[in-house]
Structure 1
C-alpha cells in the first residue's frame, strides 16, 4: 500500500477511509510483556537514546496489534537532555530537573538543538521507516508550556504555582522562555520529519491547567509557530484536561486535535468545528 493512502494519513487529511484508523497515542509498552522484558534494568532516558531499543519498542504494538500507525518511542524531555540539561526521569515521579530555570540567566542553557545532538533519533527513524513499510510513523515532541513547567518547577507539579508566577509576574521572561523552547521543539520535530516520520504529534500534557484567555495570550503564539514550521506533514495536538480549551487549541494550526475522556466526542466535534 502507498504510504500516503494509509487510513491514518487519509483520516488526518479528512479524506474517506475504509475503516476508522487506530493507533496508540503513546507507546503501548507499559502493558506488554515484551516491553517489560527489554526495558528491564534500562533507565528510560537510556532506552530513548539507544536506536536498537527505540526500534524494537516502537515495533512491538505494531507487530502485536496491527495498528494503523506507529508512535516513535521517546520521551518529551529527550531534546532537553540532549542539550545538556541536568535531568532524569525518576520511576514513580517523572522528570526531575537539578537546576530549575527561574531567571534570565537560566535561559543560557537552552541553546539551539542540532541534528547531531539527537543522532540516535535519526538513526532509529531511518531504520523504522524501512521496517514499517506502508505503516506511517508518528514523531512527537513536548510542547513549550509543558516542557517549561518541568524546567521552572524542577519536576512534576499539581498546581504549577512557580510556572504561573513567571507567566503572570514576569511575562517578558516567560515569552523568551517559550520562544526558546518553541525553537527547540520545532527543530526536534523537523529532524524527525527529515528522517522519515510521516506525521508529528505535539503533547501539551499540563496545558489544561490554564484558562482559555491565558492560553491565547501566553501559549498560543508559540504553539502556532511550531505547527507552521512543520506544515508539510499532518500535525496532531493533544493536551490533558483541555475540554474548555478545545476551541482555542483548534486555532493553533494542527490538522488533528486529540481529546481525552472528560467530554463526549460529539461535543468535542462541535467545539472544534471540523
Structure 2
C-alpha cells in the first residue's frame, strides 16, 4: 500500500520536496491503517477481509492502473522502451473507447475549451487505461463469482466478520437490506463514470477546474474516476452473492424443518 501511494512520486521526475514529504506521510498512514486492520483478529472497516481474493483483486487493479499511468507520464520527459510501450498501449485504448457518449469522451469534454492538444491526448490515454483496467477487474471478479463459486470455494463464509460495517440490528430483514444495498452500489457504480465528468464540468463555472497539466493530478484523478465506480460495482455483486447464500441457507433450513414436522406428524 505504501508503495502504491509513493509510486508516482518515485517514477516521475522533478518532484518537489514538499510534494515528496506529503506523499511519504500519506503512504505511512495508509500502510499503518492496512497493517493494523489485517494484523488485528477482528475487522473494523475493511470488508471481505476473510474472503480472498476480493481485496487483492481491487488492489492489483489499482496498482496496475497507477503503474501504467506513471510510466506514461514519466516517459514524456525521460522516454524508455517500457514507457513507449505503455504510451502506445494507452493511445490504443484511449482512441478505442473514445466514442460518442462513452465515459472517456465525457472526461475529454470535461476539459476547458482552451486546453492544449497534448493535455487532451494525455487525459484520453489516462482515461482509456483506467477504464479498461476497471472493466478487466470486474470481468475477473464476475468470473470468480459465477464460475469459481466465490466466496464459498474455500469453506464457510461468515457474513458478520466480512461485512463489519453492515449492522444486522438496524431494522428490517437482513436479506432485503443486503439486496437493496447491492442494487444501490451497482447502480451508482455504473452511473458514476458518467456523472462525475458532468458534475465537474457544471462546477467549473463556480470553482476553478482541476488542472490536468500536473502528472500526479492526472494519475490520481483518472485512477479514482475509474477505480471507485468499479469498486462499488464489485461490492454490489459481492453483497448480492452473500444475499443469495443467505437465501439458499434459509430455504434449506425451512425445507429441513418441514420434513421434520412431517415425520413427527
Same fold (TM over 0.5): no
Structure number with the bigger relative contact order (C-alpha 8 A, sep ≥ 6) is: 2
More strand by share: 1
Q: TM-score w.r.t. structure 2 length?
A: 0.26
- Name the structure with the higher helix share: 2
Give the TM-score normalised by the residue count of structure 1. Answer: 0.25
